[in-house]
Amino acid sequence: MSLRARAVALSSLLALAGSSWAQSPYPAIRSLRSEDLIYDQLVDSIERFHRSEKGNESPPELSFYSYTASDDIDIFSLAAAFSLPYDTIATLNRLPNADSIARGATVLIPSQPGIFVSQSPGNDLEYLVKSLWTETLEPHAQVRAFVDGRYVDFIFYPGQEFHPSERTFFLVAGFRFPLPKGVITSGFGMRLDPFTGRSVKFHTGIDIGAPYGTDVYAARSGKVESTGYSDVYGNFVIVVHDATWETLYGHLSRILVRKGQKVETGGTIGLVGSTGMSTGPHLHFETRHRGVATDPSPLMMSRQ
């Protein structure tokens, strides 16, 4: 198809769909196939950017397109369809982790790869990204995009990708250490029963020794799913994060939050104690992914 014929066809398509597209500030991609002229146009722009990095031509102007995610799409297949890094799509759409594209969600796709740094962070990943990129000397530009029903201001770093710490945080959830300081006294997995010293049992979290009454922090922002007392965990708090992850904090001396309360990363949710099945003051900390206990140690970013 000639360039002129493609332009005429694109104009006709825009005219036919104008009534529905008028509600969106960006052209809408209907299919991830070359028959969709809008998709084809965007892919051409992205390819131009990659050629411009080799000095073969000037880069395209930054522009945005929208796409409604299908049932089986995830951020990795979406990124592959546009030859873009997943971190470009993640930062533009303000996704907190790799599991965050909901069925039927409208996703923005830019015509250039790069990192979009929100000037008003709204989730843990955005706070991390802003802290790591604010002082960078790389070329950048101020842009505004319509995301989740409102305009958001970004600093855009074309052609850049996540730092290793950002990538880890995005891919594996990235939890902070839940105490101001403490020593891991028992790890995740099989261990001797601390009460009998004979039978072997599976430990579904880690134990962190700390003085009685030490503040216990939310390891990541979320919503308190439940609080209460059990014979095993004693006083406990469970916080859900982004629908796929949850954390449990056990053996607390006091619970300082209530069910349904929103909590921020580093917010105090309770105090270290020795309630339930406990041999002394410590925090039992669990991370669960889709209900399955997961070793917290490699998921924690730092002890700061």
Extract the tokens encoding 70.
């299908």
Q: What is the DSSP letter of 190?
A: E
Q: Apex CA 221: angle with CA 106 and CA 248, to 5°?
A: 120
In degrees and rounded to multiples of 5, residue 60 shows phi and psi of -70, 160
Give the span between the Cα atoms of 215 and 202, in whole angstroms: 27
User: Distance between alpha carbon 14 and the CA centroid of its chain, in Å?
Assistant: 34
Whether residue 175 contacts residue 301, with contact meaning beta carbons closer than 8 Å, is answered with yes
Q: Which secondary-structure segment (H or E) carries 150? A: strand 150-158
* Residue among 258, 251, 95, 67 nearest 166 (CA): 95
The dihedral of CA 116, 117, 119, 122: what is its sign? positive
Would you give per-residue pLDDT tens digits along the chain (304 residues)? Answer: 444 444 334 444 333 333 333 356 899 999 888 788 999 999 999 999 988 888 777 888 999 999 988 766 788 888 998 999 999 999 999 998 787 777 778 899 999 999 999 999 888 788 888 888 876 666 688 999 999 889 999 999 999 999 887 887 788 656 888 998 888 898 898 877 776 666 778 889 999 999 999 999 998 888 999 999 999 999 999 999 876 789 999 999 999 999 999 998 888 999 999 999 998 999 999 999 888 998 888 777 654 4
Tokens of 93: 């759409």
The pLDDT value recorded for residue 172 is 66
Tell me the backbone φ, ψ of residue 147, rounded to 5 degrees.
-125, 130
Digit-coded pLDDT (tens) for 199-232:
778 889 999 999 999 999 998 888 999 999 999 9
Burial class, 144, CB count within 10 angstroms (exposed 0-12 / middle 13-18 / buried 19+): exposed
Domains of the chain: 3-172 (no CATH), 183-299 (2.70.70.10)
3-state secondary structure (DSSP) of residue 157: strand
Predicted TM-score of the model (pTM): 0.58
Residues in Cβ contact with 39 at an 8 Å cutoff, skipping those fewer than 6 apart: 29, 30, 31, 32, 33
